[in-house]
Amino acid sequence: MWLKKQIPNMITLLNLLCGCIAVILAVQNNLVLAAMFVMLGIGFDFFDGFAARILLVQSELGLQLDSLADMVTSGLVPGVVMFQLLARTQKTVSRTVFDSWGFDQNLTSIEMPYIAFTGLLITLASAYRLAKFNIDTRQTTSFIGLPTPANTLLIVSLPLILSFQSTEWIANLLDNPWFLIVLTLLSSYLLNAEIPLFSLKFKSWGFAENKVRYFFIILMLLLLVFLQFIAIPCIIIVYVLMSLLFRERSPK
């Protein structure tokens, strides 16, 4: 019985492991591989809750552990990725000096554009959202504000698009620091906005009560097939718009 209870927690820890690896890769500016580990971690994040419900072993420990893992994979990583994207627009390679491991270095000697630190607002907004989610009883069957995994997929899709589907206008857009700053502020706002968004958690498989979810999943798959990585920001936009058009009543 003890091992059965730990299965979802083990899956959550795999999410955390993927997030830690993604952080290291993002700091090294290997954003494509970091994005891959983030997606793997988000996959584990989905299946830990699924496993807990199937095995009937949902617990307060699992809830807290899940938020801690999400803080790394879906909080710290997107902030670092945005930091690197903003640093890239300044034509400066961000790096930290570890030569002496002493205190003789100061911030002015580290070659990084300070505008890039704006990207870490995503990490702060994600932390606030995750803390709020744990005590918000309205979010048991739906969400209030954009979930951190969805926001993270939006951010980490940018280096994937830039690497595999870049066109001149995309390259110019993602090379514009003001676009990235506006995107950072918008995503930070959406994480904590009082906007009701539907969840993809199914209580039953009936079509009538899940038609919005089924339609969204079909549309999401079609977008991924035809648009590939560009589909990811499109899916997030569609998700928000569909949630606003087909609002579900939150439990009282």
DSSP string, 73-137: IIIIHHHHHHHHHHHHHTT-------SS-SS---GGGS---GGGGGGGHHHHHHHHHHHHHHH-G
The pLDDT assigned to 76 comes to 97
Q: Which two tokens stand for residue 59?
A: 């617990």
| Other beta carbons less than 10 A from residue 24's beta carbon | 14
Q: What domains can be seen in the chain, in order of their start residue?
A: 2-95+106-198 (1.20.120.1760)
Tell me how far apart the alpha carbons of residues 18 and 79 are, in angstroms, rounded to a whole number: 16
Q: What is the DSSP letter of 144?
A: E
The pLDDT assigned to 92 comes to 54
The pLDDT assigned to 33 comes to 97
End-to-end, the C-alpha distance of the chain in Å comes to: 34
**Cα–chain center distance at 53:** 23
The pLDDT assigned to 251 comes to 40
Kindly report the CA angle at 72 between 71 and 76, in degrees rounded to 5? 90
Scanning the structure block, which residue is given the tokens 């690497």? 163
Angle of helix 2-27 relative to helix 60-71, nearest 10 degrees? 10
Three-class SS string for 148-216?
Answer: HHHHHHHHHHHHHHHHHCCCHHHHHHHCCHHHHHHHHHHHHHHHHCCCEEECCCCCCCCHHHHHHHHHH
The pLDDT assigned to 15 comes to 95
State pLDDT tens for residues 83-98: 999 999 987 554 444 4
| Residue stretches of the chain with pLDDT short of 70 | 1-2, 92-111, 140, 202-204, 248-252
